[in-house]
Structure 1
Amino acid sequence: MSGHVFTLAGAALEARGSGALWWPERGILAVSDLHLGRSERVARLGGALLPPYESAATLARLEAEIAALAPRSVVCLGDSFDDDAAGHALDEKARLWLTRLMAGRSWTWIAGNHDPGPPALGGSHLAELPAPPLTFRHIARRGASGEVSGHYHPKARLALGGRSLTRPCFLVDRKRVILPAFGAYTGGLDCRDPALTGLMQKGALAILTGPRPHPIPMPRR
Protein backbone atom coordinates (compact mmCIF):
# COMPACT_ATOMS: atom_id res chain seq x y z
CA MET A 1 0.00 0.00 0.00
CA SER A 2 1.38 3.38 -0.98
CA GLY A 3 1.58 6.53 1.11
CA HIS A 4 1.88 10.30 0.86
CA VAL A 5 5.10 11.75 2.29
CA PHE A 6 5.09 15.08 4.13
CA THR A 7 7.21 16.88 6.74
CA LEU A 8 6.13 17.97 10.23
CA ALA A 9 8.54 19.82 12.55
CA GLY A 10 11.41 18.53 10.43
CA ALA A 11 10.30 14.89 10.65
CA ALA A 12 9.61 13.07 7.36
CA LEU A 13 6.32 11.18 7.76
CA GLU A 14 4.17 9.02 5.52
CA ALA A 15 0.37 9.08 5.54
CA ARG A 16 -0.48 5.50 4.64
CA GLY A 17 -3.49 4.58 2.57
CA SER A 18 -4.73 2.43 5.47
CA GLY A 19 -4.99 5.45 7.78
CA ALA A 20 -1.78 4.63 9.67
CA LEU A 21 1.09 7.11 10.03
CA TRP A 22 4.65 5.91 9.44
CA TRP A 23 7.82 7.63 10.72
CA PRO A 24 10.60 5.69 8.95
CA GLU A 25 13.55 7.36 10.69
CA ARG A 26 12.31 6.22 14.12
CA GLY A 27 10.56 3.06 13.00
CA ILE A 28 7.32 4.30 14.60
CA LEU A 29 3.91 3.27 13.30
CA ALA A 30 1.00 5.27 14.73
CA VAL A 31 -2.70 4.41 14.48
CA SER A 32 -5.66 6.11 16.10
CA ASP A 33 -9.16 5.23 17.22
CA LEU A 34 -9.20 1.46 16.72
CA HIS A 35 -12.46 1.30 18.73
CA LEU A 36 -12.08 -2.44 19.22
CA GLY A 37 -15.24 -4.01 20.65
CA ARG A 38 -17.58 -1.46 19.10
CA SER A 39 -20.24 -4.02 18.14
CA GLU A 40 -20.16 -5.47 21.69
CA ARG A 41 -20.64 -2.04 23.25
CA VAL A 42 -23.51 -1.07 20.92
CA ALA A 43 -25.29 -4.36 21.65
CA ARG A 44 -24.67 -3.98 25.39
CA LEU A 45 -26.28 -0.53 25.36
CA GLY A 46 -29.30 -1.75 23.40
CA GLY A 47 -28.40 -0.14 20.08
CA ALA A 48 -28.71 -1.51 16.56
CA LEU A 49 -26.86 -4.78 16.12
CA LEU A 50 -23.64 -4.52 14.11
CA PRO A 51 -21.84 -7.44 12.48
CA PRO A 52 -19.44 -8.68 15.19
CA TYR A 53 -16.42 -8.63 12.91
CA GLU A 54 -15.04 -5.14 13.36
CA SER A 55 -12.26 -6.18 15.76
CA ALA A 56 -11.02 -8.86 13.37
CA ALA A 57 -11.19 -6.47 10.40
CA THR A 58 -9.28 -3.79 12.30
CA LEU A 59 -6.61 -6.18 13.58
CA ALA A 60 -6.14 -7.67 10.11
CA ARG A 61 -5.45 -4.21 8.67
CA LEU A 62 -3.05 -3.45 11.50
CA GLU A 63 -1.27 -6.77 11.00
CA ALA A 64 -0.85 -6.00 7.30
CA GLU A 65 0.82 -2.66 8.07
CA ILE A 66 3.12 -4.25 10.66
CA ALA A 67 4.07 -6.98 8.19
CA ALA A 68 4.79 -4.42 5.47
CA LEU A 69 6.80 -1.98 7.59
CA ALA A 70 8.30 -4.02 10.47
CA PRO A 71 8.06 -1.09 12.93
CA ARG A 72 10.21 -0.98 16.03
CA SER A 73 7.42 0.83 17.88
CA VAL A 74 3.64 1.05 17.57
CA VAL A 75 1.73 3.96 19.10
CA CYS A 76 -2.04 3.67 19.51
CA LEU A 77 -3.36 7.22 19.86
CA GLY A 78 -6.30 6.56 22.15
CA ASP A 79 -9.82 5.15 21.90
CA SER A 80 -8.23 1.80 21.16
CA PHE A 81 -11.37 0.24 22.66
CA ASP A 82 -14.91 1.53 22.34
CA ASP A 83 -15.05 1.85 26.13
CA ASP A 84 -13.33 0.30 29.15
CA ALA A 85 -15.83 -2.58 29.36
CA ALA A 86 -15.26 -3.41 25.68
CA GLY A 87 -11.56 -3.77 26.45
CA HIS A 88 -12.29 -6.27 29.22
CA ALA A 89 -14.82 -8.10 27.01
CA LEU A 90 -12.35 -8.65 24.15
CA ASP A 91 -12.51 -12.30 23.16
CA GLU A 92 -9.57 -14.66 23.54
CA LYS A 93 -8.87 -14.82 19.81
CA ALA A 94 -8.50 -11.04 19.59
CA ARG A 95 -6.34 -10.94 22.74
CA LEU A 96 -3.97 -13.55 21.33
CA TRP A 97 -3.89 -11.71 18.01
CA LEU A 98 -2.91 -8.48 19.76
CA THR A 99 -0.28 -10.33 21.80
CA ARG A 100 1.31 -11.63 18.60
CA LEU A 101 1.34 -8.16 17.05
CA MET A 102 2.94 -6.66 20.16
CA ALA A 103 5.69 -9.27 20.43
CA GLY A 104 9.23 -8.04 19.78
CA ARG A 105 8.47 -4.31 19.59
CA SER A 106 7.69 -1.35 21.80
CA TRP A 107 3.95 -0.71 22.12
CA THR A 108 2.36 2.41 23.59
CA TRP A 109 -1.30 2.82 24.48
CA ILE A 110 -2.27 6.50 24.69
CA ALA A 111 -5.34 7.11 26.85
CA GLY A 112 -8.40 8.31 24.94
CA ASN A 113 -11.71 9.80 25.94
CA HIS A 114 -13.49 6.46 25.40
CA ASP A 115 -10.99 4.25 27.19
CA PRO A 116 -8.18 4.76 29.70
CA GLY A 117 -6.01 2.14 28.00
CA PRO A 118 -6.19 -1.66 28.35
CA PRO A 119 -4.44 -2.43 31.65
CA ALA A 120 -4.65 -6.20 31.21
CA LEU A 121 -2.52 -6.03 28.06
CA GLY A 122 1.19 -5.34 27.90
CA GLY A 123 2.93 -2.26 26.62
CA SER A 124 3.23 1.24 28.05
CA HIS A 125 0.16 3.22 29.13
CA LEU A 126 0.61 6.98 28.83
CA ALA A 127 -1.42 10.18 28.65
CA GLU A 128 0.84 11.30 25.80
CA LEU A 129 4.17 10.30 24.28
CA PRO A 130 6.90 12.89 23.66
CA ALA A 131 9.22 11.83 20.84
CA PRO A 132 11.01 15.08 19.90
CA PRO A 133 10.40 16.87 17.64
CA LEU A 134 6.92 15.28 17.79
CA THR A 135 4.38 14.65 20.53
CA PHE A 136 1.76 11.92 20.26
CA ARG A 137 -1.57 12.46 22.06
CA HIS A 138 -5.26 11.68 21.63
CA ILE A 139 -6.85 15.11 21.25
CA ALA A 140 -5.20 18.08 19.55
CA ARG A 141 -4.35 21.08 21.72
CA ARG A 142 -4.59 24.62 20.47
CA GLY A 143 -1.17 26.22 20.28
CA ALA A 144 0.67 22.90 20.09
CA SER A 145 3.35 22.27 17.47
CA GLY A 146 4.80 19.03 16.13
CA GLU A 147 1.63 17.29 17.30
CA VAL A 148 0.27 13.92 16.18
CA SER A 149 -3.28 13.19 17.33
CA GLY A 150 -6.57 11.52 16.43
CA HIS A 151 -9.99 11.66 18.13
CA TYR A 152 -11.99 13.49 15.45
CA HIS A 153 -12.18 10.74 12.78
CA PRO A 154 -11.83 13.34 9.99
CA LYS A 155 -13.27 12.64 6.55
CA ALA A 156 -13.39 14.67 3.33
CA ARG A 157 -15.51 14.73 0.20
CA LEU A 158 -13.98 14.75 -3.27
CA ALA A 159 -15.95 15.47 -6.47
CA LEU A 160 -14.96 13.16 -9.33
CA GLY A 161 -16.65 13.39 -12.71
CA GLY A 162 -20.00 14.44 -11.33
CA ARG A 163 -19.80 11.93 -8.49
CA SER A 164 -19.06 12.62 -4.84
CA LEU A 165 -16.59 10.40 -2.98
CA THR A 166 -16.21 10.60 0.81
CA ARG A 167 -13.21 9.03 2.53
CA PRO A 168 -11.46 9.16 5.90
CA CYS A 169 -8.52 11.54 5.72
CA PHE A 170 -5.45 12.89 7.46
CA LEU A 171 -5.44 16.62 8.15
CA VAL A 172 -1.99 18.20 7.91
CA ASP A 173 -0.68 21.72 8.40
CA ARG A 174 2.63 23.21 9.54
CA LYS A 175 1.97 22.42 13.22
CA ARG A 176 0.05 19.15 13.41
CA VAL A 177 -1.38 16.08 11.79
CA ILE A 178 -4.74 14.61 12.79
CA LEU A 179 -5.12 10.94 11.89
CA PRO A 180 -8.30 9.30 10.61
CA ALA A 181 -9.92 6.53 12.63
CA PHE A 182 -8.20 3.22 11.87
CA GLY A 183 -11.02 1.04 13.20
CA ALA A 184 -13.87 -0.45 11.20
CA TYR A 185 -17.43 0.93 11.68
CA THR A 186 -16.13 4.14 13.24
CA GLY A 187 -17.82 6.85 11.18
CA GLY A 188 -16.27 10.28 10.85
CA LEU A 189 -16.51 14.06 11.14
CA ASP A 190 -16.59 16.18 7.98
CA CYS A 191 -13.40 18.22 7.88
CA ARG A 192 -15.49 21.34 7.16
CA ASP A 193 -16.85 21.14 10.70
CA PRO A 194 -15.83 24.15 12.85
CA ALA A 195 -14.19 21.80 15.36
CA LEU A 196 -11.60 20.99 12.68
CA THR A 197 -11.44 24.21 10.68
CA GLY A 198 -10.80 26.01 13.97
CA LEU A 199 -7.78 23.79 14.66
CA MET A 200 -6.15 23.61 11.24
CA GLN A 201 -4.25 26.51 9.70
CA LYS A 202 -5.07 28.04 6.34
CA GLY A 203 -3.37 26.02 3.62
CA ALA A 204 -3.90 22.70 5.44
CA LEU A 205 -4.14 19.51 3.40
CA ALA A 206 -6.66 16.70 3.61
CA ILE A 207 -4.99 13.44 2.54
CA LEU A 208 -7.71 10.98 1.54
CA THR A 209 -7.06 7.36 2.43
CA GLY A 210 -7.33 4.45 0.02
CA PRO A 211 -5.06 2.44 -2.31
CA ARG A 212 -3.58 5.73 -3.55
CA PRO A 213 -3.68 8.41 -0.84
CA HIS A 214 -4.82 11.65 -2.46
CA PRO A 215 -3.91 15.10 -1.03
CA ILE A 216 -6.32 17.98 -1.61
CA PRO A 217 -6.65 21.42 -0.04
CA MET A 218 -8.61 20.94 3.17
CA PRO A 219 -12.23 21.77 2.31
CA ARG A 220 -13.79 24.61 4.29
CA ARG A 221 -17.32 25.97 4.27
Structure 2
Amino acid sequence: MNGHAFTLAGTDLIALASGALYWPAQDVLCVSDLHLGKAARRGRLGQATLPPYETRDTLARLGAVLGHTAPRTVICLGDSFDDPEAARELSDPDAETLRALQNGRRWIWIEGNHDPGPLGPAGEHMPNLAIGALRFTHNATPQGSGEISGHYHPKATVRSKGRAMSRPAFLIDATRVILPAFGTYTGGLRCSDPVLARLMSPDAIAVLTGARALCLPMGRA
Protein backbone atom coordinates (compact mmCIF):
# COMPACT_ATOMS: atom_id res chain seq x y z
CA MET A 1 0.00 0.00 0.00
CA ASN A 2 1.46 3.36 -1.06
CA GLY A 3 1.80 5.24 2.19
CA HIS A 4 3.66 5.80 5.43
CA ALA A 5 2.82 3.45 8.31
CA PHE A 6 2.99 4.87 11.83
CA THR A 7 1.54 4.37 15.30
CA LEU A 8 -0.61 6.89 17.18
CA ALA A 9 -1.85 6.15 20.71
CA GLY A 10 -0.98 2.49 20.25
CA THR A 11 -2.95 2.33 16.99
CA ASP A 12 -1.40 1.35 13.65
CA LEU A 13 -2.35 3.76 10.86
CA ILE A 14 -1.25 4.48 7.29
CA ALA A 15 -0.93 7.97 5.80
CA LEU A 16 -1.75 7.21 2.18
CA ALA A 17 -0.07 9.03 -0.71
CA SER A 18 -3.56 10.08 -1.84
CA GLY A 19 -4.04 12.24 1.29
CA ALA A 20 -6.41 9.82 3.02
CA LEU A 21 -5.69 8.11 6.35
CA TYR A 22 -6.35 4.37 6.66
CA TRP A 23 -6.88 2.37 9.85
CA PRO A 24 -6.54 -1.27 8.77
CA ALA A 25 -7.62 -2.97 12.02
CA GLN A 26 -10.96 -1.14 12.04
CA ASP A 27 -11.29 -0.88 8.22
CA VAL A 28 -11.75 2.89 8.52
CA LEU A 29 -10.79 5.48 5.90
CA CYS A 30 -10.54 9.12 6.96
CA VAL A 31 -10.34 12.22 4.74
CA SER A 32 -10.49 15.91 5.57
CA ASP A 33 -11.51 19.17 3.96
CA LEU A 34 -13.18 17.99 0.78
CA HIS A 35 -14.68 21.49 0.33
CA LEU A 36 -17.25 20.19 -2.13
CA GLY A 37 -19.01 23.03 -3.94
CA LYS A 38 -16.18 25.53 -3.56
CA ALA A 39 -16.45 26.80 -7.13
CA ALA A 40 -20.22 27.31 -6.79
CA ARG A 41 -19.82 29.16 -3.49
CA ARG A 42 -17.25 31.53 -4.91
CA GLY A 43 -19.59 32.22 -7.81
CA ARG A 44 -22.46 33.02 -5.44
CA LEU A 45 -20.23 35.47 -3.56
CA GLY A 46 -19.02 37.17 -6.73
CA GLN A 47 -15.43 36.07 -6.15
CA ALA A 48 -12.92 35.04 -8.79
CA THR A 49 -14.25 31.89 -10.39
CA LEU A 50 -12.66 28.45 -10.36
CA PRO A 51 -13.09 25.72 -12.97
CA PRO A 52 -16.50 24.19 -12.20
CA TYR A 53 -15.21 20.63 -11.96
CA GLU A 54 -13.64 20.58 -8.50
CA THR A 55 -16.48 18.61 -6.89
CA ARG A 56 -16.43 16.01 -9.67
CA ASP A 57 -12.65 15.68 -9.43
CA THR A 58 -12.65 15.40 -5.63
CA LEU A 59 -15.33 12.70 -5.68
CA ALA A 60 -13.51 10.82 -8.44
CA ARG A 61 -10.28 10.77 -6.44
CA LEU A 62 -12.15 9.73 -3.31
CA GLY A 63 -13.82 6.96 -5.29
CA ALA A 64 -10.42 5.70 -6.41
CA VAL A 65 -9.20 5.48 -2.79
CA LEU A 66 -12.38 3.72 -1.70
CA GLY A 67 -11.98 1.26 -4.56
CA HIS A 68 -8.45 0.47 -3.44
CA THR A 69 -9.08 0.18 0.31
CA ALA A 70 -12.77 -0.90 0.36
CA PRO A 71 -13.36 0.43 3.91
CA ARG A 72 -16.45 -0.39 5.96
CA THR A 73 -16.45 3.11 7.50
CA VAL A 74 -15.57 6.53 6.09
CA ILE A 75 -14.97 9.52 8.36
CA CYS A 76 -14.95 13.00 6.78
CA LEU A 77 -13.22 15.39 9.17
CA GLY A 78 -15.19 18.56 8.52
CA ASP A 79 -15.34 21.23 5.84
CA SER A 80 -16.64 18.49 3.60
CA PHE A 81 -18.78 21.17 1.95
CA ASP A 82 -17.64 24.72 1.33
CA ASP A 83 -20.79 25.99 3.06
CA PRO A 84 -24.22 24.56 4.00
CA GLU A 85 -25.76 25.79 0.74
CA ALA A 86 -23.13 23.88 -1.23
CA ALA A 87 -24.39 20.69 0.40
CA ARG A 88 -27.91 21.48 -0.82
CA GLU A 89 -26.80 22.54 -4.30
CA LEU A 90 -24.86 19.46 -5.41
CA SER A 91 -25.67 18.73 -9.02
CA ASP A 92 -27.72 15.60 -9.65
CA PRO A 93 -24.72 13.71 -11.11
CA ASP A 94 -22.48 14.68 -8.18
CA ALA A 95 -25.16 13.78 -5.65
CA GLU A 96 -25.61 10.41 -7.34
CA THR A 97 -21.85 9.81 -7.27
CA LEU A 98 -21.78 10.59 -3.56
CA ARG A 99 -24.66 8.22 -2.86
CA ALA A 100 -22.85 5.47 -4.75
CA LEU A 101 -19.69 6.02 -2.69
CA GLN A 102 -21.72 5.82 0.53
CA ASN A 103 -23.62 2.71 -0.47
CA GLY A 104 -22.95 -0.28 1.80
CA ARG A 105 -20.71 1.50 4.29
CA ARG A 106 -21.01 3.63 7.41
CA TRP A 107 -20.40 7.28 6.55
CA ILE A 108 -19.67 9.88 9.24
CA TRP A 109 -19.60 13.64 8.65
CA ILE A 110 -17.65 15.51 11.34
CA GLU A 111 -18.71 19.16 11.60
CA GLY A 112 -16.29 21.82 10.38
CA ASN A 113 -16.23 25.60 10.46
CA HIS A 114 -17.52 25.74 6.86
CA ASP A 115 -20.28 23.17 7.42
CA PRO A 116 -21.50 23.30 11.04
CA GLY A 117 -24.50 21.26 12.07
CA PRO A 118 -26.35 18.45 10.26
CA LEU A 119 -26.55 18.81 6.49
CA GLY A 120 -28.70 17.16 3.84
CA PRO A 121 -26.54 14.29 2.55
CA ALA A 122 -27.11 10.88 4.08
CA GLY A 123 -24.82 9.68 6.82
CA GLU A 124 -24.19 10.41 10.49
CA HIS A 125 -23.40 14.01 11.50
CA MET A 126 -21.29 14.55 14.63
CA PRO A 127 -19.25 17.38 16.20
CA ASN A 128 -16.45 14.85 16.87
CA LEU A 129 -16.00 11.13 17.36
CA ALA A 130 -13.96 8.91 19.68
CA ILE A 131 -13.07 5.33 18.72
CA GLY A 132 -10.83 3.55 21.19
CA ALA A 133 -7.81 5.73 21.94
CA LEU A 134 -8.38 7.95 18.90
CA ARG A 135 -10.42 11.15 18.69
CA PHE A 136 -11.58 12.46 15.31
CA THR A 137 -12.29 16.18 15.14
CA HIS A 138 -12.02 19.05 12.65
CA ASN A 139 -9.74 21.44 14.46
CA ALA A 140 -6.72 20.41 16.55
CA THR A 141 -6.76 21.26 20.24
CA PRO A 142 -3.63 22.29 22.19
CA GLN A 143 -3.86 19.34 24.58
CA GLY A 144 -4.98 16.77 22.02
CA SER A 145 -3.88 13.18 22.57
CA GLY A 146 -4.59 10.48 20.00
CA GLU A 147 -6.16 13.29 17.99
CA ILE A 148 -6.85 13.14 14.25
CA SER A 149 -7.86 16.46 12.70
CA GLY A 150 -7.74 18.60 9.57
CA HIS A 151 -8.66 22.28 9.06
CA TYR A 152 -5.19 23.72 8.38
CA HIS A 153 -4.57 22.19 4.94
CA PRO A 154 -0.84 21.67 5.69
CA LYS A 155 1.60 21.76 2.80
CA ALA A 156 5.31 21.04 2.64
CA THR A 157 8.00 21.83 0.09
CA VAL A 158 10.45 19.43 -1.48
CA ARG A 159 13.08 20.06 -4.13
CA SER A 160 12.98 17.89 -7.24
CA LYS A 161 15.29 18.32 -10.22
CA GLY A 162 16.36 21.71 -8.91
CA ARG A 163 12.80 22.98 -8.44
CA ALA A 164 10.88 23.60 -5.22
CA MET A 165 7.53 21.81 -5.27
CA SER A 166 4.74 22.31 -2.72
CA ARG A 167 2.64 19.26 -1.88
CA PRO A 168 -0.18 18.64 0.62
CA ALA A 169 1.18 16.84 3.66
CA PHE A 170 0.22 14.99 6.81
CA LEU A 171 1.81 16.32 10.00
CA ILE A 172 2.47 13.59 12.55
CA ASP A 173 3.94 13.49 16.04
CA ALA A 174 3.52 11.26 19.08
CA THR A 175 0.15 12.71 20.09
CA ARG A 176 -1.64 13.85 16.93
CA VAL A 177 -1.92 13.79 13.17
CA ILE A 178 -3.19 16.69 11.05
CA LEU A 179 -4.48 15.59 7.66
CA PRO A 180 -3.94 17.46 4.40
CA ALA A 181 -6.95 18.85 2.55
CA PHE A 182 -8.30 16.20 0.17
CA GLY A 183 -10.39 18.59 -1.92
CA THR A 184 -9.33 20.04 -5.26
CA TYR A 185 -8.37 23.76 -5.27
CA THR A 186 -8.19 23.95 -1.47
CA GLY A 187 -4.90 25.83 -1.02
CA GLY A 188 -2.77 25.22 2.03
CA LEU A 189 -0.69 26.44 4.96
CA ARG A 190 3.07 25.93 5.01
CA CYS A 191 4.05 23.45 7.70
CA SER A 192 6.60 26.00 8.92
CA ASP A 193 3.79 28.41 9.83
CA PRO A 194 3.91 29.36 13.54
CA VAL A 195 0.39 28.08 14.23
CA LEU A 196 1.41 24.58 13.11
CA ALA A 197 4.79 24.80 14.84
CA ARG A 198 2.96 25.50 18.11
CA LEU A 199 0.69 22.49 17.70
CA MET A 200 3.31 19.95 16.64
CA SER A 201 6.27 18.72 18.65
CA PRO A 202 9.85 19.51 17.49
CA ASP A 203 10.32 15.92 16.29
CA ALA A 204 7.15 15.92 14.14
CA ILE A 205 7.32 14.58 10.61
CA ALA A 206 5.65 15.67 7.39
CA VAL A 207 4.40 12.99 5.00
CA LEU A 208 4.03 14.55 1.57
CA THR A 209 1.31 13.27 -0.75
CA GLY A 210 1.58 12.70 -4.49
CA ALA A 211 2.65 9.82 -6.70
CA ARG A 212 4.30 8.30 -3.63
CA ALA A 213 4.36 9.21 0.05
CA LEU A 214 7.52 11.04 1.08
CA CYS A 215 8.45 11.33 4.75
CA LEU A 216 10.59 14.26 5.98
CA PRO A 217 11.26 15.94 9.33
CA MET A 218 8.64 18.69 9.60
CA GLY A 219 11.37 21.26 10.24
CA ARG A 220 12.93 20.52 6.86
CA ALA A 221 9.76 20.32 4.80
Taking structure 2 as the reference length, the TM-score comes to: 0.97
Stretches of structure 1 lacking an aligned partner (at least 5 in a row): none
Letter paired with 1:2: N
Partner residue of 2:138? 138
Kept after mapping to 2: 8 A contact 1:138/1:149 = yes
For 1:71-110, what aligned pairs fall within 5 Å after superposition? 71-110=71-110
Matches of 1:9 and 1:60, distance apart in 2 = 32
1:219 is displaced (CA, Å) by 2.4
1:133 is displaced (CA, Å) by 1.1
The SS at the match of 1:99 is helix
Kept after mapping to 1: 8 A contact 2:84/2:119 = no
1:88 is displaced (CA, Å) by 1.0
1:161 is displaced (CA, Å) by 4.4
Deviates more, 1:211-220 or 1:164-173: 211-220
Q: Aligned-pair RMSD on alpha carbons? A: 1.3
For 1:1-221, what aligned pairs fall within 5 Å after superposition? 2-116=2-116, 119-219=119-219
Letter paired with 1:76: C
Kept after mapping to 2: 8 A contact 1:80/1:117 = no
Question: Identity of counterpart residues, as a percentage?
Answer: 55
The SS at the match of 2:25 is coil
Matches of 2:159 and 2:182, distance apart in 1 = 23
Matches of 1:65 and 1:57, distance apart in 2 = 13
1:191 is displaced (CA, Å) by 0.6
Kept after mapping to 1: 8 A contact 2:111/2:126 = yes
Taking structure 1 as the reference length, the TM-score comes to: 0.97
1:118 is displaced (CA, Å) by 5.4
Task: Sort the Cα spacing of 1:101 and 1:118 in 2 relative to 1 into closer, same or farther, 3 A.
Answer: farther
The SS at the match of 1:198 is helix
Matches of 1:178 and 1:26, distance apart in 2 = 19
Letter paired with 1:158: V
Post-superposition CA distance 1:186-219 (Å, at most 9, x none): 0000011111000000100000001110000002
1:220 is displaced (CA, Å) by 6.6
Letter paired with 1:23: W
Matches of 2:103 and 2:88, distance apart in 1 = 20
Stretches of structure 2 lacking an aligned partner (at least 5 in a row): none
Matches of 1:119 and 1:105, distance apart in 2 = 18
Deviates more, 1:124-133 or 1:158-167: 158-167
1:158 is displaced (CA, Å) by 1.3
